[in-house]
Amino acid sequence: MLKLYNTLTRKKEPFIPISKDKVKIYSCGPTVYNYAHIGNMRAYIFMDTLRKVLKYNGYNVELVMNITDVGHLVSDADEGEDKMAKTARLENKSVYEIAQKYTDAFIEDIKKLNISIPDHVVKATDHIKEMEEYVDKIVKNGYAYETSKGIYFDTSKLPKYGKFLSNNELDNLKAGARVEVDNEKKSPYDFALWIKAPKEHIMKWDSKWGLCYPGWHIECCAMSQKYLGDKFDIHTGGVDHIPIHHENEIAQAIGATGHNLANYWLHVEFLLIDNGKMSKSLGNVYTLSDLEKKKIDALTYRYFNYTSHYKNKLNFTWDAINSAKVSLNKLRELISLHKDVNIKVDKLVIKEYEDRFLDAINDDINMPVAISIIWELAKKKEKSNDYFELIKKFDSVLSLDLDKNNNDKYQDKNQDVPEEVRKLLNLRKIARDNKDYLQSDILRDKLKELGYIVKDTKEGQIVEKV
């Protein structure tokens, strides 16, 4: 049985869906004022892995991810310049052009990571009416009030406010919206649902309260309700969402519907850079493009994420990511040695590995253990296409293209190399990677006996017919 760590209950518990027909998930998506960095991408890799684990277990899944194209302030504590307006000014574009540019870049990035596009990718600007209606429900239910600057959620109506997910001290929950501090607020902990736009504000819409724009948290509640209903199964996001954004989502949902919006809340830990925080001032905010410039592809980064459990902090260093690159290349090479080898494996052995893999992914998405099982299979001395097909099945969850040995550069130069020669070349590369030069020389001689001379170049092994 699938077990997940639920931030709401602070324990690992069996996953029991609301409906047997479909598991419904909402994932917090990007604010599209800049390129997403690799820390952001950790949350989306998890979102995708969770979805594929559920599908591997036989569930139908409906996944919604929002695109925040309204923008929010530079500080999430109600102060500073609107992020999207700032980028628009710096790039001399409209806010809508900025939103489209960085949305397109984000979609390209998740495709590189083999992240399947969610069933619904929903933009905040397309759902302003739904947000207004959601705010109106909260007001009519007595959980919000109006000031000259906006509509605020009245946190005094919820004795558990701040305790739903994080057991947070209230001092950590002040404001957290897209509006400057309002002295008319009943409490400093009340947060903005709907903001009355000043004349100079670019993104604003007509509403029953005049020209306004939405607070930071309302879009997720309104859009999840539209696509998934008042109550759905799983809500995902980064741990940075726990203390403010997700606490406020739950508060809003109670105000509008009388209950929490999701049964399971799953949160991904931070990506560290050299054991510290990612920061523009430190010059260590990396994107997938930055990795690609150093010849690290997106799937290497996905593999790197699987070296640690999603609930543990993951430390990125250039040494660590390069080590992941070597490991993934070697893993693919070992797996390729099993391809088309016509030796059958006992069905009980296959069943044992299937059970172990299922146990790993069902133990709160334990990908480090899942990866170790694939390594164990790949290293089997007795090669078999049965192992190759089993690994392909497991890769439906990992999405690492493990069946594509696309790092054998000699294959690009020698399309007609026979299978026997290709396998010897694979073995020789592994020997050289392990600095086993005696074995490397033995394999070179075997290739020569088959009529091929191998040359070692900076681009890898190249063979020539004698």
Question: Quick one: pLDDT at residue 75?
Answer: 45
Say which CATH class 282-398 falls into.
mainly alpha
Cα atoms in the 13 Å half-sphere on the side-chain side of 375: 13
The Cα 21–Cα 46 span in angstroms is 23
Quickly count: other Cβ atoms within 10 Å of residue 321's Cβ: 18
Check if the beta carbon of residue 72 is closer than 8 Å to that of residue 110: no
Quickly count: other Cβ atoms within 10 Å of residue 316's Cβ: 23
The Cα 252–Cα 157 span in angstroms is 11
Interval 51-70 mean pLDDT: 97
Q: What is the DSSP letter of 117?
A: P
Give me 255's structure tokens.
């105000």
The yes-or-no verdict on residue 396 having pLDDT over 50 is yes
Question: Quick one: pLDDT at residue 73?
Answer: 52
Amino acid 84 reads: M
Do the bridges between strand 150-153 and strand 191-196 make them parallel or antiparallel, or are there none, so unpaired?
antiparallel
The yes-or-no verdict on residue 355 having pLDDT over 90 is yes
| pLDDT, tens digit (0-9, with 9 covering 90-100), for 366-389 | 999 999 999 999 999 999 999 999
Q: Percentage of the chain surpassing pLDDT 70?
A: 92
Question: Quick one: pLDDT at residue 459?
Answer: 67
Tokens 């009980």 belong to 348
Say which CATH class 17-268 falls into.
alpha beta
What is the residue extent of each domain of the chain? Answer: 17-268, 282-398, 409-465
Local structure of 416: helix, strand or coil: coil
Contacts of 290 (CB under 8 A, 6+ apart): none
Quickly count: other Cβ atoms within 10 Å of residue 147's Cβ: 16
Question: Quick one: pLDDT at residue 81?
Answer: 66
The Cα 374–Cα 371 span in angstroms is 5
| pLDDT, tens digit (0-9, with 9 covering 90-100), for 11-46 | 999 999 999 899 999 999 999 999 999 999 999 999
Higher pLDDT, 429 or 47: 47
Question: Quick one: pLDDT at residue 412?
Answer: 42
Phi-psi region of 43 (alpha: psi -120 to 50; beta: other; left: phi over 0): alpha
Higher pLDDT, 416 or 347: 347
| pLDDT, tens digit (0-9, with 9 covering 90-100), for 228-270 | 999 999 999 999 999 999 999 999 999 999 999 999 999 999 9
Report residue 111's pLDDT band, with 50, 70 and 90 as the boundaries: very high
Check if the beta carbon of residue 17 is closer than 8 Å to that of residue 233: yes
Backbone angles phi, psi at 400, to 5 degrees: -105, 5
Q: What is the DSSP letter of 308?
A: S
The yes-or-no verdict on residue 408 having pLDDT over 70 is no
How high does pLDDT run on average in the chain? 91
Higher pLDDT, 196 or 282: 196
Burial 280-312 (b: 16+ CB within 10 A, else e): eeeebbbbbeebeeeebbbbbbbbbbbebbbbe
Question: Quick one: pLDDT at residue 429?
Answer: 81
Check if the beta carbon of residue 266 is closer than 8 Å to that of residue 234: yes
Report residue 176's pLDDT band, with 50, 70 and 90 as the boundaries: very low
Question: Quick one: pLDDT at residue 437?
Answer: 87
Helical spans, DSSP H, in 259-317 = 288-293, 298-305
Report pTM.
0.86
Q: What is the DSSP letter of 244?
A: I
Burial 18-46 (b: 16+ CB within 10 A, else e): eeeeebbbbbbbbbbbbbbbbbbbbbbbb
